[in-house]
Structure 1
Amino acid sequence: MLVDSAHLSYCTNIHAGDGWQEHFDALKTNLPKVKQRLSPDRAFGIGLRISNRASHELQSEENFQEFTNWLDANDMYIFTMNGFPYGEFHHEEVKENVHSPDWTSTDRLFYTLRLIGILAKFLPDGMDGGISTSPLSYRRWFKTEETKKIATQVATRNIIEVVEQLYRIKHVSDKILHLDIEPEPDGLLETGDEFLNWYHEYLIPIGRQHFQNKFNLDEDKADEVIKTHVRLCYDVCHFALGYEDHEEMMRKLEAEQILIGKFQISAALKANFPKEPRKRKLITQAFAEFDEPTYLHQVIAQTDTGKIRRYKDLPDALADADHPDTQDATEWRAHFHVPVFLSEYELLESTQQDILKVLDLHKEKRRTAHIEVETYTWNVLPKDLKLPLENSIIRELTWVRDELTK
């Protein structure tokens, strides 16, 4: 739905499924109800997530036409897609395999190109479209700086192949599509600064050479093509996890003229640690209630000197909580996408204040046309936090809409 000239929706990775028919059944079950409550008289935008398998199946003429007819009949449109998870995302252990295949693989490249073809067909005229994607790879797969550097180079070259396709689409149709890179904990690109460094040390140099050699573009034009078609997916949860300063990051992006493709509105868990051992124990026990086996829940601790300590997953942080060398931790933040409309979870809190800060910065100056709520952990939340899915989606979107229009 359009809210103050930005398209607001939720990411359909909330719904389980691998094949197209599973995806489509979930859309037909949930989206009309959400639209009826939130946008009964105006078109409703979809943040579509489909798996690799479904991307093949949607290319069939029958499936494509059926979906087109359904969108038209229900007054819905697609403006953004989530191309990060490649396969099944709910009914099996995902963990670090969410990055697989990574951007060093042609499987990732071809999957993304299929998504681009799909989005180009469905995107309404006069609207830009984005596809969010993995931050190149999972950094713990690379044991040395040299292997990490090689992986970054290969991944960047594959991304430039995508940029070329986006450049061609714009040339023939005037539609602007962009690939939105999503930094996250333990990604090869983990922070906003790492994204910016990659942009300047790898993407721009490799991209310039490619577009100069293949299309005879000068440096300025090549840079313009790259900056038009490669943007930042600003997942608020991920930036909050790293204790990053949102206002400072916005300034850096503006100074470098690098665009935000979309805001993903999401919240992490957090808690301050008191000095008293018994109270610290109660807080770690509260975090343990969110320890589940499907997704990675990295923990980033901040110490009393302001240093950062990173844990691969929540069980690693819990196992280290009582160690004498870790008693300097003053705060934990855990990568668990909790509902955005709640700020407290008994002894724990959420990073909701980070969302409010980002929305305020967006209201101050429109920074993207795409805003997508991404809470995908409903099926693994503790029982007392679960609500009927339809009601949860509506409550999240209503909360964000109301904050945007204050």
Structure 2
Amino acid sequence: MKFHNAHLAYCTNIHPAESWEETLHALKTHTLAVRDKVLTPDSPSGYAIGLRLSARAASELLEESNLSDFKAWLEKENCYVFTINGFPYGDFHGTRVKEKVFQPDWTTDERLDYTIQLFEIIAQLVPKGIDGSVSTLPGSHKTFHADEAAIFTNLERCAVKIEELSQQYDRDLHLGLEPEPLGHFENTEESLAFFDRFLATVDDPEMVKRRIGINYDTCHFALEFDDCKKSLDALINAGLRISKVHLSSALEFDPQSDEAMESIRNFDEPTYFHQVILLDNNRGLTRHPDLPDFFADLEQSNSSHPDAIAGRIHFHIPLYSEPEAPLKSTQDHAVDALKYLAENPNFCSHFEIETYTWGVLPDDLQIPIEDQIALEYEWVSNQ
């Protein structure tokens, strides 16, 4: 749906689906129900879908008449697709995801081929006059010790293909690399340094900057204790494209509060990575790969990090929802991103609500999924 000068959707990675049949079923069952809650049937702009396609679903969508049938369904339902989440390659629900969501990474042909398939799809789905985006992982995960030269090679190959498809279909297509805690690059400083190194290796830096930029996730940058305005200013001033903004919030807690430390145990679940980052009074950061690692460190050191003044956990919680005290959220970072849009209406045209952890939220934060998503739309509109 139109949102100021931009487009707003929610990411359908919140719905478990790995095949194309399952994906289409989720769209018909859940996404249309959300549409009916947030959009009038005769809205001239139509209802925007932020599509998530696994590698299997993408391959199946390109078979036989599936893509043309899907385009006809979108038109019938007054819907359109402007962005695809291409970060999770495979299973994303109901199994241990954690580091697997970074596999295969950008050192591999599998990741390149999958992403090109997504661009072949979005090039044919996105309406004329609207740009089309795909979001992906930040190259790799730090623990993989990836060959950065291989990442650069595959990203450049991808940029060349995106350029070809953009010209072939007369669409402005772009890829957004999504910094994440413990990703190959994870914050503003590391993002700038990564692109400096990457662009120094390519034949056509201007073309690459046109086709590859940053997917700015407000949860992830808040986790790093980066200031939203300063971060976006720095990325844009460096000539980087903000391909898409993910609107999402993380958990915040007081590491000196016994009650808060006990409360965060409710968010320790085995499906996703829940990195923990602590801020000390000298603005230094201490990182833990996951909540279990954080608790194990406390037990081994018998320390509560006496210099820590704030802690944040990579656990996406609904935008409209502040957890019960003593916990807090990083909602302010999402608010600041929307304020930035009001002051800089052309900095990015793609916005996506992304609270994919609905299925593993503690019971006190759960409501019917369509109601949750509708409330997130309402929250964004109210900002």
* Normalised-by-shorter TM-score class: over 0.9
Q: What residue is the counterpart of 1:335 in the other structure? A: 314
RMSD: 1.3
Q: Does 1:177 align with 2:173?
A: yes
Q: Distance in 2 between matches of 1:256 and 1:200?
A: 9
**Could you report, residue by residue, the CA deviation over 1:120-144 in whole angstroms, capped at 9, with x for unpaired residues?**
01010011111000000011122xx
Q: What residue is the counterpart of 1:372 in the other structure? A: 352
Q: What residue is the counterpart of 1:96 in the other structure? A: 99
Superposition deviation, residue 44 in structure 1 = 0.7
Q: What residue is the counterpart of 2:16 in the other structure? A: 16
Q: What residue is the counterpart of 2:366 in the other structure? A: 386
**Larger gyration radius, structure 1 or structure 2:** 1
User: Which structure features the higher share of helix residues?
Assistant: 1
Superposition deviation, residue 168 in structure 1 = 1.1
Q: Does 1:247 align with 2:229?
A: yes
Q: Distance in 2 between matches of 1:358 and 1:255?
A: 16
Alignment of 1:196-211 (within 5 A): 196-202=192-198, 204-208=199-203
Q: Does 1:157 align with 2:153?
A: yes
Secondary structure, aligned partner of 1:206: coil
Alignment of 1:197-236 (within 5 A): 197-202=193-198, 204-208=199-203, 222-236=204-218
Superposition deviation, residue 328 in structure 1 = 1.8
Secondary structure, aligned partner of 1:395: helix
Q: Choose 341-350 or 281-290, whichever is displaced more.
A: 341-350
Q: What residue is the counterpart of 1:3 in the other structure? A: 3
Q: TM-score when scaled to structure 1? A: 0.90
Q: What residue is the counterpart of 1:107 in the other structure? A: 110
Q: What residue is the counterpart of 1:302 in the other structure? A: 279
Match of 1:193 among 184, 189, 198: 189
Q: What residue is the counterpart of 1:211 in the other structure? A: none
Q: Distance in 1 between matches of 2:16 and 2:253?
A: 30
Given that residues 180 and 230 in structure 1 are in contact (C-alpha distance below 8 angstroms), is that contact kept between their aligned partners in structure 2? yes
Given that residues 7 and 351 in structure 2 are in contact (C-alpha distance below 8 angstroms), is that contact kept between their aligned partners in structure 1? yes
Q: Distance in 1 between matches of 2:332 and 2:8?
A: 19
Secondary structure, aligned partner of 1:340: coil
Structure 2 residues not aligned, in runs of 5+ = none
**Could you report, residue by residue, the CA deviation over 1:135-156 in whole angstroms, capped at 9, with x for unpaired residues?**
00011122xxxxx4xx111011
Superposition deviation, residue 325 in structure 1 = 7.0
Q: Which amino acid aligns with 2:21?
A: Q
Q: Distance in 2 between matches of 1:343 and 1:363?
A: 24
**Could you report, residue by residue, the CA deviation over 1:14-38 in whole angstroms, capped at 9, with x for unpaired residues?**
0001111111100000122222221
Superposition deviation, residue 194 in structure 1 = 1.1
Q: Which runs of 4+ in 1 moved over 4 A?
A: none
Q: Distance in 2 between matches of 1:121 and 1:261?
A: 18
Given that residues 255 and 305 in structure 2 are in contact (C-alpha distance below 8 angstroms), is that contact kept between their aligned partners in structure 1? no
Superposition deviation, residue 231 in structure 1 = 1.1
Given that residues 138 and 184 in structure 2 are in contact (C-alpha distance below 8 angstroms), is that contact kept between their aligned partners in structure 1? yes
Q: What residue is the counterpart of 2:142 in the other structure? A: 139
Superposition deviation, residue 160 in structure 1 = 0.7
Superposition deviation, residue 7 in structure 1 = 0.4
Q: Distance in 2 between matches of 1:255 and 1:57?
A: 40
Secondary structure, aligned partner of 1:377: helix
Q: Which amino acid aligns with 2:272?
A: Y
Q: What residue is the counterpart of 2:342 in the other structure? A: 363
Secondary structure, aligned partner of 1:184: coil
Secondary structure, aligned partner of 1:88: coil
Structure 1 residues not aligned, in runs of 5+ = 143-147, 209-221, 275-279
Q: TM-score when scaled to structure 2? A: 0.96
Given that residues 320 and 326 in structure 1 are in contact (C-alpha distance below 8 angstroms), is that contact kept between their aligned partners in structure 2? no
Q: Which amino acid aligns with 1:307?
A: G
